[in-house]
Amino acid sequence: MNTKKVIEALNEGLAHEYTAILQYLQHYYTASGIESHNIGGLFEKISIDEMKHAEKLAKKIVALGGRPTTKVLKIYEGKTLKEMLKQDLEGEIDGIKLYQSQLKLVEEDVSIRMMLEDIINTEVEHKEKLENLLK
């Protein structure tokens, strides 16, 4: 396993998680309309899940001898609940693809592979919830 490449990949995931945390919190704070109470609560819950992912990734990066990134990607704010849901759905889909691609780097490292698979499973749950709300 190329530890340097794995650290870079995990830091890419960490930047994705930091962005998701901020985007979901922004959507939680600014959600308005008749369904905003229910959907806003979902935004808050998902942001907490993303914080847990960030913590796992940062701890693994440090354990591998790396330094966790402070990079954040572009945050999409959305003006309506539907826009927010669509933006968050795109983020979940991107995250799933990112982590699935990283699995190839860590095939022989069971602990990192299991961590990524756990994150993927949670991201898939988020994706499905968002898709159901957009139906």
What is the pLDDT at residue 26?
96
Q: Which residues of the chain have pLDDT under 50?
A: none
What is the pLDDT at residue 107?
85
What is the pLDDT at residue 90?
97
Q: Tell me the whole-structure pTM to 2 decimals.
A: 0.94
CB 106 within 8 A of CB 1: yes
Considering the segment(s) 3-134 as one domain, its CATH architecture is: Up-down Bundle (1.20)
Domain spans in the chain, listed from the N-terminal domain onward? 3-134
